[in-house]
Amino acid sequence: MKMTVNRIRVVVLGSPRSGKSAVVVRYLTKRYIGEYSSTGDFLYQHRVAFDGAVSEVEILDTSNCAIRGCLAEHVRWGDAFAVVYSVCERRSFLAAAELLSLLERTRLPGCAAVTLLGNKRDLEHAREVHAEEGQELSLRFGCQFYEVSAAESCAGAALAFHALLREARALALLLPAPRRKLAAYSVSKVIGTIFGKNSKSVRKKRPSLSI
């Protein structure tokens, strides 16, 4: 049976140190890398098959968007958004609320799949944001919500990303959007870079984005 293939562009947003890269790499490789020295965005290409369909996914792991002024460009580019905060840092939760509000203002409601991820749930002793608060925020913006721990397991990240891709697939059937090409790194090349080097500090390079 021929599997349908669809292309989905995912943008991962959130405060510095909230665990965006750790969650993305955990989902892509099932492994946890402790430290990244991030200097910019990183774009991964990933092919995933589930629910009888194949998705060619581009995941943009952003860094310091607000400071670098590239947030609007990323919001225009994405079909789906993962907004990450750390359950141990209230400031990152407030920033996530701002990001959800921005997405609501700039992307017509129902035109993009969005999920809110409360990361670092393994650090219960340092928790500052309760799960109910994340749930309420997701209800307010009509988006999905998961608490995950990139450090503890890949199940949470996989569940959250597959749910996001499932929603993006459904929207793509309703809202065909123009496709723009991006220079991208294949996951195998990226993973080689990550694991080829000292995995303690992985330098992230900013690929040339041509939208």
Ligand X SMILES: Nc1nc2c(ncn2[C@@H]2O[C@H](COP(=O)(O)OP(=O)(O)OP(=O)(O)O)[C@@H](O)[C@H]2O)c(=O)[nH]1
- Where along the sequence are the contacts to ligand X (CB under 6 A)? 14, 16-22, 34-36, 38, 63, 119-120, 122-123, 149-151
Nearer to ligand X, 129 or 171 (CB): 129
Quote the least distance from Cβ 129 to ligand X, whole Å.
14
Within 8 A by CB and 6+ apart from 12, the residues are 20, 23, 24, 59, 60, 61, 62, 81, 82, 84
Within 8 A by CB and 6+ apart from 35, the residues are 200, 201, 202
Tokens of 147: 């608490």
Question: Would you say 60 and 41 are in contact if contact means Cβ atoms under 8 Å apart?
Answer: yes
Quote the least distance from Cβ 111 to ligand X, whole Å.
26
Question: Would you say 46 and 59 are in contact if contact means Cβ atoms under 8 Å apart?
Answer: yes
Nearer to ligand X, 10 or 150 (CB): 150
At 65, the amino acid letter reads: C
Nearer to ligand X, 10 or 171 (CB): 10
Nearer to ligand X, 161 or 169 (CB): 161
List the one residue out of 97, 95, 92, 99 whose CA is nearest residue 127. Answer: 92
Quote the least distance from Cβ 128 to ligand X, whole Å.
14
Nearer to ligand X, 156 or 184 (CB): 156
Quote the least distance from Cβ 20 to ligand X, whole Å.
4
Quote the least distance from Cβ 205 to ligand X, whole Å.
13
Quote the least distance from Cβ 25 to ligand X, whole Å.
8
How does 188-201 read in b/e, with b if 16+ C-beta sit within 10 Å? Answer: eebbeebeeeeeee
Nearer to ligand X, 35 or 51 (CB): 35
Report helix, strand or coil for 80.
Answer: strand
